[in-house]
A and B are shown apart, each in its own frame.
Chain A
């Protein structure tokens, strides 16, 4: 059974076609990592799943609800989809605890005690129970991102979307966020992850999707996509990302050593 079912999805901004016919499904318990160059439409694809972007055409189904149906209760659907952003987007005027409880209380109508209990549980999951009283500005980027994950988890989502969750972090803070995500994957959470962390994709993903130019170029188990890519575009991308120091001058048309 599929948790996400995307078919023939198109999205254009003005004259720019960002998504040009995407078909993709994510099964329950699957961890799907979307990789690809900047501007390939990865983030837009992710944002179409919970309708942060309105698709131009095509359908997106999450569970048994068609998200792209104009009559769909989008707030109800979003409740069941956790999302983690590149820029964390913690609520700056609220403490860590309040960040994790506010939607539980206002949206799920949980009691204060219940919301606090679940908040603490999820802060413990990400290793930040001791920071419940702090404000986001007092935390490091890695800690903020872990709070953002706890905030999403506190809503008991069926599915988690990650939009480049480590791209805004200092290199030494990437590991703590990836560790939390790896733990989540091991617990069986369904995850759709847009990432530039190839090592994470290779190790944790059940499937890797390579996107370029608004289409899915190829997808498959990480061992296949990384170890034996079929398409030239995939090979070029992986070569540049995995071995950046061995990109030759002739590849990019430079002539420095002449």
Chain B
């Protein structure tokens, strides 16, 4: 039988599938399933984590994320507008802020807010306790990223939109509020959703602030359970709970991107 080009291609592809399946099978066969499930999938250990895993840990993770996101979004918007301002010092300030906090690790900023600032000003307190420190510590960094995203969104709105608004007698501020920003935010919703996903994961750094049993978040909660039960199952549980937050957000991004592509 002569090998035509198509037949050769089909053969190569089938060979690929077979090798892939064999590798998977070999790994499955080689694995020690008893030990694995004993270590990572102990149902009694998993069960002992509930309901606190959800009512306290997951709740706090979501809460920290939302607080930091709200703070970062508000500050990011201000920075984006300063960055695009015609006032030179505003532009300088915004650029310096963005360059600085985009370049620092979130953990370092969190240490600074949680320990550095209280040490420097012992008789002052960041309002809101741990919640306030987390909002600032994570929000300061998030604002730097979001400022750049929002700036790009504002610049992606065609110049003619501002001209049309100004021509109708709107002031620059009014045109920004009614015409430019609503369209800019439509453009930046997908990247901002990605920012929420990143923030969700960054809340795992909060443990360095010394959280209590009421302010604990998922990663620290799982770490504590790991210590008391001497079994890694809690890490798997925490991982799954993170996915409960981040997977739907990922879907939202995909949906919004598809919709945006249709509208173009």
Contacts and interface: CB of A to CB of B under 8 A. Distances in A.
B263 to A, nearest CB: 6
Interface of B: 158, 160-161, 163-171, 174, 178-179, 182-183, 186, 263
Interface of A: 50, 52, 75-76, 78-79, 81-83, 85, 87, 89-93, 102-103, 106-108, 137, 148, 151-152, 155
B169 A155 contact: yes
Given A93-B186, A137-B263, A107 B163 contact: no
Given A79-B169, A103-B170, A106-B170, A85 B182 contact: no
B160 A52 contact: no
Contacts of B178: 102, 106
7 contacts: A75-B169, A79-B168, A82-B167, A87-B158, A89-B161, A91-B165, A103-B165
B182 to A, nearest CB: 5
Given A89-B160, A89-B161, A90-B164, 10 more contacts: A52-B163, A52-B166, A75-B166, A75-B171, A78-B166, A93-B183, A102-B178, A103-B169, A106-B174, A148-B164
B177 to A, nearest CB: 9
A60 B171 CA distance: 21
A257 B167 CA distance: 51
Nearest to A81: B167
A52 B167 CA distance: 8
Given A93-B183, A93-B186, A106-B178, A75 B170 contact: yes
Contacts of B165: 91, 103
B170 to A, nearest CB: 6
Given A106-B178, A107-B174, A137-B263, A78 B167 contact: yes
A174 to B, nearest CB: 20
A81 B158 CA distance: 22
